[in-house]
Amino acid sequence: MFDLLKTDTKTKARRGRLTTAHGVIETPAFMPVGTQGSVKAVSPRELRELNAQIVLGNTYHLFVRPGIEVVRHFEGLHKFMNWDGPILTDSGGYQIFSLAKLRKITEEGASFQNHVDGTPAFISPEIAMEIQATLGSDIAMVLDECPPWPCERDYAAKSAEMAARWAKRCKNAPRLDGQLLFGIVQGATFDDLRREAAEAIVQIGFDGYAIGGVSVGEPEEEMLRAVQSSEPFLPNDKPRYAMGLGTPPQLLQMIARGMDMFDCVLPTRLARNGTAFTSTGTLNLKNAEFAMDKEPIEQNCECQACREFTRGYIRHLIKAEEILGLRLITLHNLHFYLELMRGARVAIESGDYDRFRKEFVSNYKTRDVDLTTT
């Protein structure tokens, strides 16, 4: 299932290959986020052209809308969205934490009013696995609770202990043939709780391991520490997934700390606000300085936006609220993230990852952009 092909000698960066029911994923890998069965503003055909290896869907959102009976009628999420590659489905724990109205977490599961129409709903570990089996994802995630930041130690400890019990119930629940199941390590910002949670989840035994409860508002140093506190206790022969991350430099720093898989909404979210990623940092194409700019978003980029259009034209589209503008920046941003991961894989293979990472991070500047913008 997972072959560890090479480990960097100066960092913990890993080059691997994960085999799933719908295809092989070369790691490190970035997963475009298709929360509701669609990567925003991008078609499955365009994702294939961008060389996306895997996309992410969300159990909570698809459970709420269109509803699991609809997806079952269309014989699973792959056919429903016309994507023939691998899909990972998040169990919905984070969305219950961040979106649901009047939620209540108990040992049995999560009761909540959904964010769309306030309808009461309930998801248990067993129901989460049933939904993901119906979705037909290649990789399912256990149901967990995502503690807030900041978080009291006692709450974080009890939450992590319950998450481990939920993880065991998920593993014991019926699963689709060939569907991989990843456990999730919680523990908030407490090093000892992260270690205990990692050891407990590994003892249960999963096909891969995710580090959750990061990128929930904590400073970057806390995010990195959560990964560093968990990673030493994860098995080398299984893939590691840092959930919900992050900026391009953060991804490279996480790879250096032994992480293999990532997802993040930033490439598509910031595109909708006119922000493009480049190798030297972000560009806010709404700015007047780009009005007469005949250059592409980034020189030597092979995405459609950079091959065919100028910064000045794309700025015009964004200012005029033309849909094509946000689509072009979205295509560019996804291409940028996916190419960054390809570059990381090449650098690990050649033994040059540490230089690759340091050079990229030193040249990268976040300019005139709010990373929390929706």
Q: Which of 144, 260, 263, 370 does the annotation list as catalytic?
A: 263
List the one residue out of 341, 353, 357 whose CA is nearest residue 25.
Answer: 341
What single-letter DSSP state applies at residue 29? E
User: What does the alpha-carbon distance between residue 12 and residue 23 come to, in Å, rounded to a whole number?
Assistant: 26
Q: Which stretches of the chain are assigned E, i.e. beta strand? A: 2-7, 14-20, 23-27, 29-31, 55-58, 87-90, 101-105, 110-113, 120-123, 139-141, 180-185, 208-211, 240-242, 261-263, 275-278, 281-284
Q: Which of 90, 144, 207, 260 does the annotation list as catalytic?
A: 90
List the one residue out of 83, 56, 87, 80 whose CA is nearest residue 66.
Answer: 80
Tell me which residue has tokens 């090093």.
Answer: 191
- The verdict on whether 90 is a catalytic residue reads yes
3-state secondary structure of 144: coil
Vertex 92, ends 183 and 51: CA angle to 5°?
75
User: What does the alpha-carbon distance between residue 4 and residue 88 come to, in Å, rounded to a whole number?
Assistant: 20
- The verdict on whether 117 is a catalytic residue reads no
Q: Which residues does the annotation mark as catalytic? A: 90, 263
